[in-house]
Amino acid sequence: MREWLRHLARIFMPVYQLESDTMKILYAGYSPIKKSYYGRFLLNNNYHQTFLGRYWFSDIPGLIDRLNIDMAVAEMSHVTFDSFRNCEGYILPVWATMRINIDRPESEIFNKSKTDFRDIIRRIRKYDLTYEISADKKIFDFFNERFYLPYMKNRHGDEAFIEDLDSMWKSYKHPLIMVVKEKGEIAGMAFLRVTDKILHLKRTGLIDGSQEYLSHGVIGAVYYFGILEGLKLGCKYVDLGGSRPFLRDGLTRHKLGIGGEFEQKLDSSKEYLWFGVNKKSLAAADYLKRNPFMHLSKDFTLVRCNYGEPVTNHENL
């Protein structure tokens, strides 16, 4: 019932105008986290917002021309999905899964000329980073309290979405914890799960959200050690978790740099956003030509959009 109420609420949504010196965008929906993210990403940090009122979802695309907006982002639901999909614009996944194919030689996986592993391995050696794997629930509890929660709060502040990891741990058949140490002292941890020849890096964290350990490359080491552990277990893939659809997003760019690839096939059960662009806006065109993104095709395949190029040039990444 609660889920259906959430979907129904997105029929009649609050709409905000976010404006910087160079662009104006609309955000329609209830999530302060998503609104803040797209405000920062599309406009940088220097913008102000105005609440425009509540609008029916079907009226939101028309606001682009009516208010001379450069770009618009609207939350979607199962109820409004088909309508938005038939509108001019793009359907973006809120999060798109990325993974690394490790069913190949290590020399290919860690190719220093084609990936960013050269820098990751350099930091692992410089700061004497090592790892071990545990299935101890007490270590998981330590991870949840001292690693996951501080890391999320430091990264997202008041907008952090805190998940119930304890329930996730209990629901998994063989949950694991990776402990990353710097010179023998615990620096970072990751919550792991192995299913169907895939090692999933579910959640990561640094002790007390330490920025020092972040600069030492501990998160990069988690990905590197995750691949090593996946190889030991005979996995074919390492699931890097969700990434934003814009390729210049910091986390997405980092995962691409270590060989991550987007999972191409999606379905309607995922969470999506409608992304509208004012074709008359030179500012929007300039921005999007410099910021390619992934969007949903008509057959629910994730494809890349290089804005301004013919549709036939859109390609899988």
Closest among 54, 18, 58 to 38, alpha carbons compared: 18
pLDDT digits (tens, 9 = 90+) for 78-88: 999 999 999 99
pLDDT digits (tens, 9 = 90+) for 14-34: 999 999 999 999 999 999 989
Is 317's pLDDT higher than 80?
no
The terminus-to-terminus CA distance of the chain in angstroms comes to: 37
Is 234's pLDDT higher than 70?
yes
Report the top-level CATH class of 97-262: alpha beta
**What local confidence, expressed as pLDDT, does residue 9 receive?**
75
Is 312's pLDDT higher than 50?
no
pLDDT digits (tens, 9 = 90+) for 43-85: 988 899 999 999 999 999 999 999 999 999 999 999 999 999 9
Mean pLDDT of 203-217: 90
* DSSP annotation of 29: S
Strand ranges for 95-218 from DSSP E: 96-101, 129-134, 176-182, 185-195, 198-206
**What local confidence, expressed as pLDDT, does residue 2 receive?**
57
Strands 90-93, 129-134: pairing kind: unpaired
Is 4's pLDDT higher than 60?
no
pLDDT digits (tens, 9 = 90+) for 153-180: 776 665 566 778 989 999 998 899 999 9
pLDDT digits (tens, 9 = 90+) for 121-157: 999 999 999 999 999 999 999 998 898 887 777 766 6
Cα separation, 286 vs 106, whole angstroms: 39
Mean pLDDT, the chain, rounded, equals 91
How does DSSP assign 82-105, residue by residue? HHHHTSSSEEEESSEEEEEE-SS-
**What local confidence, expressed as pLDDT, does residue 11 receive?**
93
The residue type found at 220 is G
**What local confidence, expressed as pLDDT, does residue 261 receive?**
96
Paired tokens of 296: 């949903």
Mean pLDDT of 107-113: 92
Closest among 272, 260, 278, 261 to 297, alpha carbons compared: 272
Specify which residues 92 forms β-bridges with. 273
Confidence of residue 269 (pLDDT cuts 50, 70, 90): confident
**What local confidence, expressed as pLDDT, does residue 313 receive?**
38
Mean pLDDT of 236-265: 94
* DSSP annotation of 190: E
95-99, 115-119, 176-180, 263-267 — which is least confidently predicted?
A: 263-267
Outline where 172-310 has alpha helix (H).
211-215, 218-232, 250-257, 282-290
**What local confidence, expressed as pLDDT, does residue 314 receive?**
43
Single pTM value for the model: 0.87
pLDDT digits (tens, 9 = 90+) for 195-208: 989 999 999 888 98
**What local confidence, expressed as pLDDT, does residue 160 receive?**
62
Specify which residues 246 forms β-bridges with. 293
Phi, psi of 251 (to 5 degrees): -70, -40
Mean pLDDT of 251-255: 94
* Cβ-based neighbour number of residue 87 at 10 Å: 16
Could you give the percent of the chain with pLDDT greater than 70? 92
**What local confidence, expressed as pLDDT, does residue 147 receive?**
85
**What local confidence, expressed as pLDDT, does residue 52 receive?**
98
Residue spans per domain, the chain: 2-94+270-313, 97-262
